[in-house]
Amino acid sequence: MRCVDRNGKIIGKSGLQDRLLSFMYTSKLGKILLVEIIKPKYSIIMGHLLNLRISKVLIQPFVFINKIDMTQYKKCEFS
């Protein structure tokens, strides 16, 4: 995928997401998988899984991978 930064410089990266999207939209197997995973039942299942307390362990890796600066937020517990 080619992206443009704030200064107008073109950045060309081909990461995992780009390869996955290319596979999903160009291959026959990818199209079959895509049709299946967009069905509402998978969204409902994932919603239930992410509402469980165990999904709390997914937050820290998400913050690290996406380089989110957590100093801007107040630390608090959610129920």
Q: Which tens digits make up the pLDDT trace of 9-59? A: 887 766 788 889 889 999 999 999 999 888 999 889 999 999 998 998 998
Instruction: Kindly report the pTM of this predicted structure.
Output: 0.51
What residues have CB less than 8 Å from 15, skipping those under 6 apart? 1
Min mean pLDDT across 2-11, 43-52, 59-68 is at 2-11
CA 15 to chain centre: 13
Give the E-state strand segments of the chain in sequence order: 2-4, 10-12
Taking 70 as the threshold, does the pLDDT of residue 1 lie above it? no
DSSP 8-state symbol, 4: E
Phi and psi dihedrals of 51, rounded to 5?
A: -85, -10
